Structure 1
Amino acid sequence: MRQWLLLAAMVALLHLTGCATNPVTGKNELSLVSEDQELDIGKKQYAPSRQMQGGDFILDRKLTAYVQQVGDRLAAVSDRKLPYEFVVLNDSTPNAWALPGGKIAVNRGLLVELGSEAELAAVIGHEIVHAAARHGAKGMERGMLLQGAIAVAGAAASGSDYSQLAVGAAAVGANLINQSYSRDAESESDYYGMQYMVRAGYDPRAAIELQETFVRLSESRQSNWLAGLFASHPPSRERVEANRKTAATLAKGGEIGRERYQQMTAYIRKLKPAYAAYGKGAEALEKKAYVEALQLAEQALAMEPREGLFHALKGDVLAAQGQDAKALAYYDKAVTLNPGYFKHYLQRGESLTRVGNRARAVRDLEKSVELLPTANAYYSLGILASAAGDKATAISHLRQAASGKSATSQIAGKELVKLDLPNNPGAYLQASVGNYQNRLIVAVQNTTGVEIGDLSVVVVRFDGRQHRYKLSQRLPAGKTLRFSTDIPLANPQDLKLWQARVLSARLTGQ
């Protein structure tokens, strides 16, 4: 019966939300996410999403203004008027993305690969369509319906990239910018994006050249492209031919703007070797090749000493070797050069923690969280609060850190259990009652990532009668322990009169 109620609720939801006309295609479509919700999501997720993708590129403000200008030109001819915004991100991965509500970003690493303003217009026009045609919102709606379908299926069966570090509300943005679009969504964005190019006065043939370049690069399987634009916007020969057919139906001519584009991107093209050295240095650091990493960081700094990332890399290398006092000078420089990027505060806060400067560490870690809530920052704040004897604050921070899916989140989850289990065992050990051969049995599930022992369980009848049980068995992480009680059940319906809960437990090894 319950599964039918769930199905009825889903049908009612569809009737309440109904269909809406897609402003780009003119088609009637299911709409579970309202325009107000789209705008709110874009507004709230734009800043943290930019942080987790490298932060804004601030060394060439004229470049950002130029990209904004091209974006505004295309947005003016869009079929849907949204509060469009366009930024350049300080990331070498060739990528671009759009959030619901018209919030669009283009990576520095993609700009250096394009050859003309018309190609840039093709990229931005494509992203504008994703926003205008609600492709991101549709992805969210598919997730909502899938969750509903899973709930119904469950009822029928039983009766019943730093984005990975983001936690809390910021994780929503991480999912949106990393989602893969459907083939239909990509086709729509290609087709209508070319329409927008013509309306804005650009040569639509640039979209063909762009896709040809993407196909060639994808076939060469360059790793940075595979991890960037191609992950969410997979190119294909079919898309090239589709763009060619579309261009044949559109007005000939239009601006290409090759010389202007080359002039506006000259600075980042000049710095491409510096960012390449930085990328190789980060890879060397990951492999613990510290001498090589330090040399590459210094190479990058020699080419552009105003880039905070390069100073931070040198700090990372020193910190990895236990030289936090020396690393702090480079983190200080990174923060001074780019005070709006979360990672510099996080790195400096962690180094300050290790050198014992708790007050400054807390300030930096809190600033990092303000810019982008991450498991790493919350974990460090939790450990600092615990060391200071502030158990409540420590638990709050660790709970935030544990809410993610990263390795740090898993570590935070274990620390959280250590602190909170003695006073709150029921939050981690779920007890339920059952009937086996007319005798009440109890199942205790360990939802944590650590082994637990010395469980004390109470079984309570509705009238207040209690039965307590001490268990000597150890309960491994993620496992369930079942035991039989001395409580008879004369009638199977009597099971409803009983409840079980865990009174106390401890981590094994403590």
Structure 2
Amino acid sequence: MNRLLIPVALSLSLITGCAVNPVTGKKELSLVSEAQEMEIGRKNYAPLRQSQGGDYVVDKKLTAYVSEIGQKLAAVSDRKLPYEFKVLNNSVPNAWALPGGKISINRGLLTELGSEAELAAVLGHEITHAAAKHTASSMSRGMLIQGAVMATVIGTQGKDYAQIAQLGAGLGSQLITKKYGRDAERESDYYGMKYMSKAGYDPQGAIELQRTFVRLSEGKNQDWLSGLFASHPPSRERVDNNIKTAAKLPKGGIAGKDRFKTRTAHIKRTKPAYEAYEEGRKALQKGNLKKARTLVGKALRLEPKEGHFHALLGDIEEKRKHPAIAKQHYNKAIKLNDGFFYYYLKRGLVNEKLKNADAAKLDLERSIQLLPTANAYNSLGNLAQAAGNLKSAKSYYRKAASKDTTEGKAAYSALMALDLSENPQNYIKLRTGLDNKGRVKAELYNPTPRDVKSIVIAIHFRDANGQIRKLKRVYKPVLPSGKKRIIDLGVKNIPKAQLSKAKFGIIGARLAK
């Protein structure tokens, strides 16, 4: 942790101390203000949804339906927040809540539910996590305080886009994958059921939901283990607790099986299409293009309006080195859904290959607006460099280079080629000291991915006679990537009192061919 955060955190605790949990009425440590909660949710909600597959838009009425149920529950909750509810285009069964009431449920979880009451149980549970400040409380305990209000570099949690080096939704990713404590889960089950009952739903839906979750967890289904169960572990204890809670609540209420069946008919009918798509992506990753093409063809016959499927066709054609054909498929994906970063990113990359620089720049910039990625910044750097705009190129490369991926390393290498001569001290590390004979030695370290040579070291010091001396030493041999070298600077008899005041710096270096 940055040492500067420690006194800040301590002073915050003195200022804010304990706050009352708006759901339970208990006093709890709170270092995250309500304004910070709202800001964290607002800033992370959109990029996090992008990184999880984007919003599901094929059946827009489905999101309206889920939002209707969510707002109905939110209206009877113990804390008024700017609640939002979205359905994500992701087959992994999962649901999550960000601070400030920003809630999402995956298409893959909706296909496994059997009634509106079960949906209400899921949403009521997530509403409680937001209303009771469970995530903010975990941050206050120090679990996530480092970097808590800034975006960081992440790798996606969504299966389909794991190869994309993403930037900008790091905190959100940490928040939704953090395993909730048992007390937080108990509270969310209990108060979520109370909200269900107040909103007119049958609390038996929560019992059936937990029974289903326990059965699925015992089956070791990998999608469930990596999705909902990673942050919301089910247990027989939770089933028993729900039974006890239901006994204290009014009997009966809305089950909504028929209505739920009608509203979710489309995603359940097209579930095999997404299963074929998932298998198609796996086949593509293994290099089996023929199988991938067959599977995505099956997916499109079942659901022709899904942009992800057309984008997969584009990925296949790109792999076959047919960028013009790939572009046609990305065009179709964007026509079906103009709000997902991946389609613009991939079209921008093929436009770059096709030498359509202006079109590539527009697509890549649009993809960054939706979700910043190292891939997009690296390509924008290439375009700027080709156009002779070296200042912009370096700016793009710096943003991409912060990610330790193939694209990030390529950007760092390109940045070095442009910037090493001007700012060698940013790339080559220097440490100095005296050996046992009183001679000044320097340790040169090259942490970069490129070999360098002709390293120039500037030396400013006051000698034993009190005279200021300015020297330069050049290390001409190649210093390979990741290697260190200790060299004699040819300086001796510097008084120890003056050594601490001496100045040593890297002022020149060149890339080795």
Fold match by TM threshold 0.5: yes
Name the residue aligned to 1:302: 301
Give the match's secondary structure for 1:118: helix
Offset at residue 103 of structure 1 (A): 0.6
Name the residue aligned to 2:274: 275
Offset at residue 121 of structure 1 (A): 0.8
Q: Distance in 2 between matches of 1:19 and 1:165?
A: 41
Offset at residue 32 of structure 1 (A): 1.8
Equivalent residues in 2 for 1:121-200, closer than 5 Å: 121-143=120-142, 147=146, 161=158, 162=161, 165=164, 167-200=166-199
Name the residue aligned to 1:425: 424
Which stretch shifts more, 107-116 or 236-245?
236-245
Name the residue aligned to 2:254: 255
| Change in CA separation of 1:475 and 1:329 when aligned onto 2, cut-off 3 Å | same
Q: Does 2:501 correspond to 1:497? A: yes
Offset at residue 476 of structure 1 (A): 4.3
Equivalent AA in structure 1 for residue 453 of structure 2: G
| Change in CA separation of 1:4 and 1:245 when aligned onto 2, cut-off 3 Å | same
Give the match's secondary structure for 1:369: helix
Q: Distance in 2 between matches of 1:164 and 1:191?
A: 39
Offset at residue 141 of structure 1 (A): 3.4
Equivalent residues in 2 for 1:195-210, closer than 5 Å: 195-210=194-209
Name the residue aligned to 1:451: 451
Offset at residue 367 of structure 1 (A): 0.8
Name the residue aligned to 2:409: 410
Give the match's secondary structure for 2:82: coil
Q: Distance in 2 between matches of 1:125 and 1:425?
A: 56
8 Å Cα contact 2:9-2:31 kept in structure 1: no
Q: Distance in 1 between matches of 2:447 and 2:491?
A: 26
Equivalent AA in structure 2 for residue 505 of structure 1: A
Equivalent residues in 2 for 1:89-488, closer than 5 Å: 89-143=88-142, 147=146, 161=158, 162=161, 165=164, 167-437=166-436, 438-461=438-461, 465-488=469-492
**Residues 116-165 of structure 1 deviation map (CA, whole Å, 9 limit, x = unaligned):** 111111111111111112222234334577759xxxxxxxxxxxx34784
Offset at residue 266 of structure 1 (A): 0.5
Equivalent AA in structure 2 for residue 470 of structure 1: V
| Change in CA separation of 1:343 and 1:14 when aligned onto 2, cut-off 3 Å | same
Offset at residue 259 of structure 1 (A): 1.1
8 Å Cα contact 1:440-1:495 kept in structure 2: no
Equivalent AA in structure 2 for residue 466 of structure 1: K
Q: Distance in 2 between matches of 1:327 and 1:6?
A: 48
Name the residue aligned to 2:511: 507
| Change in CA separation of 1:401 and 1:486 when aligned onto 2, cut-off 3 Å | same
Offset at residue 48 of structure 1 (A): 1.1
Give the match's secondary structure for 1:55: coil
Offset at residue 55 of structure 1 (A): 1.1
Give the match's secondary structure for 1:20: strand
8 Å Cα contact 2:378-2:400 kept in structure 1: yes
**Residues 413-443 of structure 1 deviation map (CA, whole Å, 9 limit, x = unaligned):** 2332233222211112233433444544433
Equivalent AA in structure 1 for residue 237 of structure 2: E
Equivalent residues in 2 for 1:5-84, closer than 5 Å: 10-84=9-83
Give the match's secondary structure for 1:465: strand
Which stretch shifts more, 347-356 or 24-33?
24-33
Q: Distance in 2 between matches of 1:184 and 1:116?
A: 27
CA RMSD across the alignment: 2.5
| Change in CA separation of 1:323 and 1:23 when aligned onto 2, cut-off 3 Å | same
TM-score normalised by length of structure 1: 0.90
Q: Distance in 2 between matches of 1:243 and 1:403?
A: 46
Q: Distance in 1 between matches of 2:172 and 2:107?
A: 20
Equivalent AA in structure 2 for residue 224 of structure 1: D
8 Å Cα contact 2:310-2:329 kept in structure 1: yes
Give the match's secondary structure for 2:393: helix
Name the residue aligned to 1:155: none
Q: Distance in 2 between matches of 1:118 and 1:225?
A: 20
TM-score normalised by length of structure 2: 0.89
Q: Distance in 1 between matches of 2:139 and 2:478?
A: 42
| Change in CA separation of 1:255 and 1:353 when aligned onto 2, cut-off 3 Å | same
* Structure 1 unaligned regions, length at least 5: 149-160
8 Å Cα contact 1:194-1:204 kept in structure 2: yes
8 Å Cα contact 2:167-2:374 kept in structure 1: no
8 Å Cα contact 2:461-2:498 kept in structure 1: no
Which stretch shifts more, 69-78 or 427-436?
427-436
Equivalent AA in structure 2 for residue 18 of structure 1: G
Q: Distance in 2 between matches of 1:192 and 1:218?
A: 23
Q: Looking at secondary structure, tell me which structure has more helix per residue.
A: 1
8 Å Cα contact 1:49-1:177 kept in structure 2: no
| Change in CA separation of 1:451 and 1:85 when aligned onto 2, cut-off 3 Å | same
Q: Distance in 2 between matches of 1:249 and 1:479?
A: 68
Name the residue aligned to 1:153: none
Number of aligned residues: 495
Offset at residue 410 of structure 1 (A): 3.0
Q: Distance in 2 between matches of 1:133 and 1:435?
A: 59
Name the residue aligned to 1:156: none
Q: Distance in 2 between matches of 1:34 and 1:179?
A: 20
Offset at residue 273 of structure 1 (A): 1.1
